[in-house]
Amino acid sequence: MNDGARLPKPYVVRTGLDEILAGLAVDDPVPSERELAVRFGVARETVRQALHELLVQGRIERRGRGTVVSRPKLTQPLSLQSYTEGAIRMGRVPGRILVTWQLIPATEHLATSLEISVGSEVIHLERVLLADGQRIGLESTYLPARRFSNLFDSFDPTTSLYAAIRAGGVEFGSATERIETVLPSPREAELMETTTGMPMLLLNRRSLDTAGAPIETLRALYRGDRVAFEATLTDR
């Protein structure tokens, strides 16, 4: 008896798709569901599920009415580097689209995080993050306005905020980060040109300067199919 005949159909499809993708280059078209169903002798629903798994993993992407091989995920270091520095390190072209750039009153949560009074002015900067023109994330940064009011006159919100902060003489000393998986809201999904069913990586960060004073609190969503994080660990 042929042992291969007893293999689960989803396994056969995924194995076959892995072999197909191994022979394709970035931006090459992936065979259609119908073609794959015929090739593997399975129902189109089985193929559709396998393709969806590859889509979530970021190995393929929808483009127009077809599907193509994706570029490798943008791997961001868990460090006090800016998004710009991480993207350039990987040979990608960073970019940003301004969504919100305004003053808001500090909520109790923001006041505690930024060590200011409730109701004090806070700068809210919200931007879509790009890599080679692709939308990969949505970043909301909150800074105490009293300390960084000069940014309204000197900062271009399509450029690196960390570079502007450092140029103003402020040095980052430490940060606390929390990363978890979430699903985006309809608004967030629309801004990132994806769906509410696409898993996101949610990063919350609170950054301090070298004297221990708060610089920012950050909430950033990253598309799980386009971004990964890495950290270098030591025993010291």
Sequence spans of domains, the chain: 3-69, 74-230
Q: What is the average pLDDT across 132-145?
A: 94
Alpha-carbon distance of 224 to 226, in angstroms, equals 6
Domains 3-69 and 74-230 share a fold: no
Q: Going by CATH, does the domain composed of 3-69 fall within 1.20.1300.10?
A: no
CATH class name, domain 74-230: alpha beta
Average pLDDT in the 70-78 region? 77
Other C-beta atoms closer than 10 Å to the C-beta of 133 total 8
In this prediction, residue 169 carries a pLDDT of 94
What is this structure's pTM?
0.79
pLDDT grade, residue 104 (50/70/90)?
A: very high
**Residues facing 132 on adjacent strands:** none
